[in-house]
A and B are shown apart, each in its own frame.
Chain A
Amino acid sequence: MNGGKQTIYFRNKPSVLSGYSIVGPKEAMGPLDPYFHKRLRKDDFGQKSYEKAECKLHMSAISGAIIAAGLSPTDIDVNIGGDLLNQIITSSFSARELDIPFIGMYSACSTFGQALIIGAALIDGGYVRRAACSTSSHFSTAERQYRYPLELGTQMTPTSQWTVTGAGCTILGKAGEGSNIFVESATIGKVIDFGISDANNMGAAMAPAAAQSVLQHLKDTGRDVSYYDYIVTGDLGVYGSRLFLELLESEGVHAAERHKDCGEMIFDKKQRCPQGGSGAGCSSVVFNAYFLYQMRVGSIKRILLVPTGALLSKLSSLQGETIPGIANAVSFVVEE
């Protein structure tokens, strides 16, 4: 790769034109509420099934981002989208309505990072003018696919995380379109499995992948953690973040002060999900709502966004497989 073992530099500075986030009622009760662009009062979004609701969420995020950039759908060359459902029906069904060329993506909750990398690369290479990178997740659709029926009286285990209901979309464009936020480089993650097999302990399953990607990014770029204002992991949760920091610490990298986790940020302690949120929508709503805002007003200059994914399915868990993790790191910088 052009920037070392796993890292690529985007030489032509693809820029972030706009971002849009839409979340469910529980997320809107969390600490990030003021930053979200739209909140649902009921998470069925007036649809007959939760799958349809998630699809509408996804579509709303894309159209919201297009409008926020002052563009129309014909200005977007490609929609790069993904979600958690089998055969990524959410993003493909939303693309069915949009009349924009579509690339479907899956790498669980790190899909957003993957979509940003492909989008930035396509723009950097001069192949497309603008790309809409979108991901979504929905508590009620993820729960039935990965876990149990909603009405079953089960207890959350102490390490389990709460799937975020929400969708986010970022529009990337060429340099010189009036935005001063640029996608500067990216590190493509390896699939890493440290042998965690409890599907309710995904933070621990993903932390090694996140640590590997971040360490490799720092190594490839020759940077120190202090180069970034924040290293933002996707959805490690409270416990996963602790393991992530321990892993960095074991390599002599001290990141505790500059680390934030989207899953940890989106809910507060009173909301009865002690480990925080997860899901493909988690990092994308937090990035598009909170971090993009902070970069636009200039209070944050550089972040390394590291969406993390646990690559399991219900079948693989039942067959006794351990849970592989992946993390893609994307570096954003604000230039004056």
Chain B
Amino acid sequence: MLSKTQYLELDKKIAPKSNEARTLFLSFVIGGLICMIGQGVSDLFKLAFPEMEEKMIGEITSTVMIFLGALLTGFGIYDRIGKHAGAGSIVPITGFANSVVSPAMEYRSEGVVFGVMCKMFVIAGPIIVSGVSSSILVGLVYWFVGLFQ
């Protein structure tokens, strides 16, 4: 029989590849569309509350987008979009919502406390940990640099 190295080489050579063109195209289009929806939401709020500060508009926009992502996940639509869009629906903030909501729904059968509450961040946990840690690092560097100015 083939040796291990020969076998691994064979696997590398003949393994089926993903359809690059299709996946790249779909991720581009759907990702772009989701961002356009985000822009639309933000513009609508700007129009409705002209005197609102930009930071708050940003907060409202992300809240609305997260709500949409959560709702589509609840209705079982987001995973169908994701099947085609790949990164196009993972990278936008709605994808973050999907990664929080989907385990919460999944583990509902293990109860509210040990299922939903415990497992809610099994996928999104790394995002919170790395985001918060890196922001603190940025803040500390900024503070440290400020000491010498």
Contacts and interface: CB of A to CB of B under 8 A. Distances in A.
Is there a direct interface between A and B, measured as CB atoms under 8 Å apart in the complex? Answer: yes
A326 to B, nearest CB: 16
Contact of B11 (A144, A153, A243, A250): A243
Nearest to A196: B11
Interface stretch (A88-96, A99-107, A154-162, A179-187): A154-162
B106 A144 contact: yes
A317 interface: no
Interface string B72-96: 0100101111111110011000010
B90 to A, nearest CB: 7
Contact of A154 (B7, B10, B82, B101): B82
B53 to A, nearest CB: 33
Contact of A158 (B7, B18, B101): B18
Given A194-B8, A274-B16, A153 B81 contact: yes
B83 A195 contact: no
Interface in A130-156: 144, 148-156
A7 interface: no
A51 B115 CA distance: 15
Interface in A29-68: 48-51
B109 interface: yes
Interface residues of B, number: 38
A208 B7 CA distance: 9
A246 interface: yes
Chain B at the A interface: SS class: helix
Contact of A215 (B1, B7, B80, B101): B1
Nearest to B108: A49
Interface in A168-207: 194-196, 201, 204
Interface in B93-117: 95, 98-99, 101-103, 105-107, 109
B78 A151 contact: yes
A239 B18 CA distance: 13
Contact of A239 (B15, B86, B89, B90): B15
Contacts of B44: none
B84 to A, nearest CB: 8
B1 A251 contact: yes
Nearest to A143: B106
A156 B83 contact: yes
**Closest 8 interchain pairs by CB?**
A153-B82, A149-B106, A151-B102, A149-B102, A152-B102, A49-B109, A158-B16, A155-B86
Interface of A: 48-51, 144, 148-159, 194-196, 201, 204, 208, 211-212, 215, 239, 242-243, 246-247, 250-251, 274-275
Interface of B: 1-2, 4, 7-8, 10-11, 14-19, 23, 73, 76, 78-86, 89-90, 95, 98-99, 101-103, 105-107, 109, 123
8 contacts: A50-B109, A149-B102, A149-B123, A151-B98, A152-B82, A154-B82, A155-B18, A157-B18
